[in-house]
Structure 1
Amino acid sequence: MMRYDLPPGAPRGAIGLLGGSFDPPHAGHVALTEAALAAFGLARIWWMVSPGNPLKENGPAPMERRLRAARDLVRHPRVVVTDIEARTGTRFTAATLAALRRLYPRQRFVWLMGADNLAQFHRWDDWKGIMESVPLGILARPGSRLSALTSPAARAYPSARIPAAQSLTLARAEAPAWCFVNMPLSPASSTAIRASGDW
C-alpha cells in the first residue's frame, strides 16, 4: 500500500473513526458526525466505509456505490470518506485499529459509535482489546440509551466513563476511556431506506 492511498493524518489533534457499511449513508450519519466533531473536539473524522459487517448476514451494496453516495452526502471540510479497511484488508475493528496504529504511529484516534452499537459491543471480536486501545465516543441514538448504559461493555468499564460535561477531554484520554453524550435524535435508518426501495 502506498502512502498516497491513505487519508491524511491530523498531527495536531485526534481523528474520530466512524466505521460502518453506510448502506446507504444518510442524514443520521451526518448528524452523528457533526455532533461528534463538536462534543469531542476532534480535528477530523474519517467515515470508514467497510467492505462488509461481520455481524450482518447479507452483504452490502457494492463498495464503489457506497463510497460515491457517502462522498456526495458529506460536504464537511473536516470529514474524509475512505475505504481504508478495504486497503488494509481488515474486516474486524480490532484488526483495523492495529493496522492504523502501524500506519499512523503518532496519531491519536477516537472510535465513534452510536449508542445502539455500545449495547451490543460485547459481541464484537476482541471488544475488550478495542476498549483498552482507543477512547470511545458514544452518541445517543433513538431507543438505545438505556440498553447502552446497562450493556455488558458499560458495566465492565464503569470507572473508564468520562462525564458528558467533560467530553472535550476524551480525545486526550488514555484508554480505556469512554464518553456517552446525547445528540438530537435522527430517525434516519439505512435499513428503512433499503426497505423503502430508495437505495
Structure 2
Amino acid sequence: MPFATKGQVIGLLGGSFDPAHEGHAHITREALKRFGLDRVWWLLSPGNPLKERGPAPMQARIERALSVIDDRRVEITDIEAQLGTRYTAETLSALRQTYPGVRFVWLMGADNLAQFHLWQDWQQIMQTVPVGVLARPGQRISARMSRAARLYAPYRIAGRNSQLLAHAAAPAWCFVNVPMVDVSSTALRAAGGWRSA
C-alpha cells in the first residue's frame, strides 16, 4: 500500500490502464497542477465492471505504467486488488478507513463523467470526495450535459477556481479544459501496440 500522511491531498486516477499511455501521464500532470494535489495514485483495477473483456495481467500493466510516467509524485498501485474491492465507491470507503486524515480527490476524464450515472453507487462517490474532471477530445459537450453534471450543478467549482477543489467539502466537483493528448488505450490495442496476454 502507498504511504500517505495526515493532511496530504491525494488524487486518485482509476482505470484498467490497458495499456497506460502518454494521455494518462498528461492528465495526471495537469491534475497535480490544476487541483493543487500533493500526489496522484494510479489505481490499476483488476477489471472494469463496465467492460466485458478482461485486461492484460496486472504485472504487465504496472510495468507499462512505470515506463509511461516518471514523477516522484505519482504512485502506480494495485490497491483495489489488495483491498479486494471492485467498485470505486467500495475502494473510496476502504481508503478513507485505511488513511484517516488524508484528503482524497477522485479524478476522471470528461468521457467518464458522461456515463458516470452508470457507475455503481455513483451518487455516494460524489457525496464522499471532491471530483476533478479533465476534458478529453470530443467529450466536453456530452460531459457537461450528463446526468451527474446536471444533478450536481450547484456544487460545481468554476475552472478558474480549480485550486479550491482539494480542500472543498463533498459534494464538490470541478471541470477543467486542458490541452489534451489524443491517444487511447483502445486505439493502442487495436493498432497492435499493446497485447493482452
Matched with 1:88 is: 83
- Of the three residues 16, 19, 35, the one matched with 1:24 is 19
Alignment of 1:1-199 (within 5 A): 6-199=1-194
* Conserved? CA contact 1:49–1:67, under 8 Å: yes
Per the normalisation by structure 2, the TM-score is: 0.97
* Conserved? CA contact 1:137–1:180, under 8 Å: yes
Deviations along 1:163-184, one digit per CA (max 9) or x if unpaired, are 0011000000000000000111
Distance 2:5 2:47 in 1: 27
Per the normalisation by structure 1, the TM-score is: 0.96
Q: Which runs of 5+ in 1 are unaligned?
A: 1-5
Identity of aligned residues (%): 60
* Conserved? CA contact 2:85–2:91, under 8 Å: yes
Alpha-carbon shift at residue 40 of structure 1 (Å):
0.2
Worse-superposed segment, 140-149 or 9-18: 9-18
CA RMSD, Structure 1 to Structure 2 (Å): 0.7
**How many pairs were matched up?**
194
Deviation beyond 6 Å, 4+ runs, structure 1: none
* Conserved? CA contact 2:16–2:45, under 8 Å: yes
Distance 1:67 1:11 in 2: 27
* Conserved? CA contact 2:7–2:101, under 8 Å: no
Alpha-carbon shift at residue 12 of structure 1 (Å):
3.8
Distance 1:73 1:158 in 2: 34
Distance 2:9 2:184 in 1: 28
